[in-house]
Amino acid sequence: MELEEIVRRIREYRGVVRKAPITPVAAGLIPVRSEDILASYGEDAAVIRCGKDLLLMAADGILEDLVAKDPFWAGYCSVLVNVNDIAAMGGIPVAMVNIISTSETRTRQKIVEGMRAACEKFGVPMVGGHTHPDTSYSAVDVAVLGKTDRSRLVLSSGASEGESIVFAGDLDGEFTEGVPYSWDTTSRKSAEAVRRQLRTMNKIAPYLTAGKDISNPGALGSLGMLLEASGKGGLVDISKMPRPEGVDLLQWLTAYQGCGFVVTCRQARTKVVIDEFARTGITASVCGSVKGGHLLEIELKGRREVLFDFSRDSLGCALPQKI
């Protein structure tokens, strides 16, 4: 596939396009201020001061078509996406609550079974929630509480010009049957293995300047959110991005990764970051650098194209609030 076609397909990808409505929603809510809110819009989780600790709070909902197609996996992923958001911030997830909306008994049962399996896998308890047993639709949403401290807080909005862009992911997985955008690396691994991976970002946090988990908009879309939040541009050679053998490039670039992160750090710290990822079975490599300006450009086989121009494109992270 030519680079121009890759750019077009990523820009039109559902996981990217659906980020645009975030901005007007956030603009209507975020102006409420509190001295204890240290970071919010543009981050994977809000950062709240609580004594000497920092609390992390996030929430996520699962795509309606996934709930309809595979309610067990939807329940599992409702936990996965939230613990990944906390991990991306350098945090440790503490507990979750949920909202389950469906009038279908079997769908509700499967969602709960999936949630329970993920809670046991990641070691994060579900402590409450709300059930709508009489809706005309089926949906599942989860909110999570995490914690960290200032020395291990990783913001999306911390990248600076000249820093290295590192993509990291667990390549030992497979795409979920019937869900081509879901790269599953956790369901078949032991709880010990996935919990160790989950804590990697907390361990390497002091070496990082910014980070995000690779989520719904895919690897390059997640990087775009990080750069937009940081007010920077970037250049990435996509041939250098870690990718499982035999997996189609475009499918990989648009996949939600069960364990995947994109981070920035000073060039002198790339080796320690890559080595620490490797200790838990996560493959990482330097794929580009943070640039000034507002363009995210990608390279492949000597060609270069603009993927996002943040002077006119938005992924919903344009107005970050940070410490």
* Structure-token pair, residue 287: 């794929």
Q: Per-residue confidence at 260, pLDDT binned at 50, 70, 90?
A: very high
Q: Per-residue confidence at 174, pLDDT binned at 50, 70, 90?
A: very high
| The pLDDT of residue 323 is above 60 | no
Q: Per-residue confidence at 41, pLDDT binned at 50, 70, 90?
A: confident
State mean pLDDT over 133-154: 97
The pLDDT value recorded for residue 319 is 66
In a domain, 71, yes or no: yes
Assign residue 264 a region: left if phi > 0, alpha if psi is -120 to 50, beta otherwise?
beta
For the CA atoms of 296, 299, 302, 303, the dihedral, rounded to the nearest 10 degrees, stands at -60
Please tell me whether residues 267 and 283 are part of one structural domain: yes
Tell me the DSSP string of 248-286: -HHHHHTPEETTEEEEEE-GGGHHHHHHHHHTTT-EEEE
| The pLDDT of residue 233 is above 90 | yes
Report pLDDT digits (tens) over 46-87. Answer: 999 999 899 999 999 999 999 999 999 999 999 999 999 999
Please tell me whether residues 126 and 173 are part of one structural domain: no
In a domain, 22, yes or no: no
Please tell me whether residues 133 and 195 are part of one structural domain: no
HSE-up (13 A, CA, CB side) for residue 26:
18
Please tell me whether residues 299 and 160 are part of one structural domain: yes
Query: Whole domain around residue 124: which residue ranges?
Result: 44-150
| The pLDDT of residue 97 is above 80 | yes
In a domain, 27, yes or no: no
CATH code for position 176: 3.90.650.10
In a domain, 34, yes or no: no
Please tell me whether residues 140 and 176 are part of one structural domain: no
Q: Which of 100, 123, 150 is the last residue of a domain?
A: 150
CATH code for position 75: 3.30.1330.10
| The pLDDT of residue 9 is above 80 | yes
The pLDDT value recorded for residue 243 is 98
Helix 3-12 × helix 218-230 angle, to 10°: 70
Q: What domain count does the chain have?
A: 2
In a domain, 321, yes or no: no
State mean pLDDT over 112-134: 98
Please tell me whether residues 12 and 77 are part of one structural domain: no
Please tell me whether residues 144 and 185 are part of one structural domain: no
Please tell me whether residues 137 and 220 are part of one structural domain: no
In a domain, 295, yes or no: yes
| The pLDDT of residue 129 is above 60 | yes
State mean pLDDT over 276-282: 98
State mean pLDDT over 296-320: 93
State mean pLDDT over 126-134: 97
Q: Identify the three-state secondary structure at position 300.
A: strand
The pLDDT value recorded for residue 63 is 94
In a domain, 36, yes or no: no
| The pLDDT of residue 146 is above 60 | yes
Please tell me whether residues 184 and 217 are part of one structural domain: yes
State mean pLDDT over 259-266: 98
Burial zone of 57 (CB within 10 Å; 0-12 exposed, 13-18 middle, 19+ buried): middle
Please tell me whether residues 134 and 188 are part of one structural domain: no
Burial zone of 299 (CB within 10 Å; 0-12 exposed, 13-18 middle, 19+ buried): middle
Composition of the chain by helix, strand, coil, percent to 5: 35, 30, 35
Please tell me whether residues 236 and 171 are part of one structural domain: yes
Please tell me whether residues 81 and 176 are part of one structural domain: no
Q: Which of 96, 127, 150 is the last residue of a domain?
A: 150
